[in-house]
């Protein structure tokens, strides 16, 4: 027998103020609906039980991608395909384009939003690691106004975030990336399409006089939340890029990961993958920082 959706009332507020007020009033009985690619599955499988959905579809500008001073602002309602096709994103953070294109399938990417990918707080989500190494913040609007949270501090556990009742994630703010910096995202999944990451690694490096001035590495799908591998990144500082150096950092990143065994792979398998992906992500990030895109 097929799964059916329970009876649900769908609300379509026309602005954020109305959306926040509705969410506050309906409390635990309501969830925000963006593309629905996570939520509809959760409702059908009864992982989520609500009688109201507050759709973001009618809110003007929630999907807008624009410059904000020197930063880039991506509206929470922007889909993976829109982000991947945006020329400002391609110039600003090309690794975000790679991460968007690595998600699901073309059809799902037409619906899947960046806000939903972050807010669902699934440890294997593809967009948080690259946004974390890029120092992104999320803007949240609630009944009492707006606040910004560093994405690194936003995740509290699997499917748990810092969002308070009545809040909507409105946009993601990515600061200007330093000159001579480069980022990359590498994912391993069991199929080429429509598959969640067994592990994903994002890296960013900033170069100065041929040495790595600063680095950041974020691991996805190998801990309850996306995780910065701080000791691995520290091992790269003031060093000349080399395969040996990247292997050393990758071995440290493995020790910083906390993978579990599940249907997609054992913890040991994930540790092996983190090692390979970290090395590749660092190689690509350095190549981008030097203006030579590898691939």
Ligand X SMILES: Cc1cc2nc3c(=O)[nH]c(=O)nc-3n(C[C@H](O)[C@H](O)[C@H](O)COP(=O)(O)OP(=O)(O)OC[C@H]3O[C@@H](n4cnc5c(N)ncnc54)[C@H](O)[C@@H]3O)c2cc1C
Interacting residues with ligand X (CB under 6 A):
31-39, 41, 56, 76, 103-104, 108, 111-113, 115-117, 119-120, 125-126, 168-169, 194-196
On the 0-12 / 13-18 / 19+ scale of CB atoms within 10 A, 199 is buried
End-to-end CA distance of the chain: 46
Question: Least CB distance from residue 78 to ligand X, whole Å?
Answer: 10
The angle formed by the CA atoms of residues 132, 137 and 139, to the nearest 5 degrees, is 145
Question: Least CB distance from residue 128 to ligand X, whole Å?
Answer: 8
Question: Least CB distance from residue 22 to ligand X, whole Å?
Answer: 13
Contact of 261 with 267, CB cutoff 8 Å: yes
Question: Least CB distance from residue 70 to ligand X, whole Å?
Answer: 24
| Integer Cα distance of 285 and 134 in angstroms | 12
In the bound state with ligand X, the residue whose beta carbon lies nearer, of 187 and 246, is 187
Question: Least CB distance from residue 62 to ligand X, whole Å?
Answer: 7
In the bound state with ligand X, the residue whose beta carbon lies nearer, of 144 and 240, is 144
* Cα 215 to the center of its chain, rounded Å: 18
- 242: how many CB neighbours lie within 10 A of its CB? 10
In the bound state with ligand X, the residue whose beta carbon lies nearer, of 118 and 249, is 118
In the bound state with ligand X, the residue whose beta carbon lies nearer, of 54 and 249, is 54
Contact of 130 with 100, CB cutoff 8 Å: no
In the bound state with ligand X, the residue whose beta carbon lies nearer, of 125 and 205, is 125
Question: Least CB distance from residue 85 to ligand X, whole Å?
Answer: 16
CA–CA distances in Å: residue 294 to residues 52, 183, 244, 283: 47, 11, 18, 8
Strands (E), the chain: 9-11, 30-33, 52-55, 65-68, 71-75, 137-142, 145-150, 155-157, 160-161, 168-174, 181-189, 197-208, 211-220, 227-228
Rg (C-alpha) for the chain, rounded Å, is 19
| Integer Cα distance of 263 and 224 in angstroms | 16
CA–CA distances in Å: residue 120 to residues 109, 127, 276, 286: 15, 11, 27, 31
In the bound state with ligand X, the residue whose beta carbon lies nearer, of 53 and 233, is 53
Which residue, judged by CB position, is nearest to ligand X in the bound state? 116
In the bound state with ligand X, the residue whose beta carbon lies nearer, of 34 and 136, is 34
Question: Least CB distance from residue 159 to ligand X, whole Å?
Answer: 8
In the bound state with ligand X, the residue whose beta carbon lies nearer, of 191 and 209, is 191
Question: Least CB distance from residue 55 to ligand X, whole Å?
Answer: 9
* Half-sphere exposure in the Cβ direction for 90 (13 Å, CA): 8
């Amino acid at each position: 027998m097929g799964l059916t959706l329970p009876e649900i009332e769908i609300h379509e507020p026309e602005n954020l103020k109305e959306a926040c007020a509705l969410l506050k009033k309906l409390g635990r009985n309501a969830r925000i609906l963006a593309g629905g690619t996570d939520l509809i599955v959760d409702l059908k499988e009864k992982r989520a039980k609500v009688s109201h959905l507050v759709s973001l579809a009618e809110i003007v500008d929630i999907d807008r991608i624009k410059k904000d001073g020197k930063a880039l602002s991506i509206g929470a309602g922007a889909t993976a395909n829109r982000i991947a096709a945006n020329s400002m994103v391609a110039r600003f953070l090309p690794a975000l384009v790679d991460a968007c294109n690595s998600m699901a399938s073309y059809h799902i990417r037409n619906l899947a939003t960046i806000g939903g990918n972050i807010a669902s707080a699934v440890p294997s989500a593809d967009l948080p690691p690259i946004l974390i190494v890029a120092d992104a913040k999320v803007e949240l609007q609630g009944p009492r106004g707006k606040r910004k949270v560093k994405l690194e501090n936003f995740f509290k556990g699997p499917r748990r975030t810092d969002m308070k009742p009545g809040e909507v994630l409105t946009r993601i703010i990515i600061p200007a990336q330093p000159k001579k910096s480069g980022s990359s995202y590498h994912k391993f999944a069991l199929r080429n399409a429509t598959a969640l990451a067994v592990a994903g690694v994002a890296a960013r490096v900033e170069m100065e006089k041929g040495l790595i001035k600063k680095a950041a590495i974020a691991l996805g799908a190998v801990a309850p939340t996306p995780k910065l591998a701080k000791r691995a990144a520290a091992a790269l500082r003031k060093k000349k890029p080399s395969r040996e150096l990247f292997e050393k950092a990758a071995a440290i990143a493995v020790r910083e990961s906390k993978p579990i065994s599940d249907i997609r792979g054992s913890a040991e398998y994930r540790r092996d993958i983190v090692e390979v992906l970290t090395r590749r992500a660092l190689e690509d990030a350095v190549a981008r920082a030097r203006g030579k895109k590898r691939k």
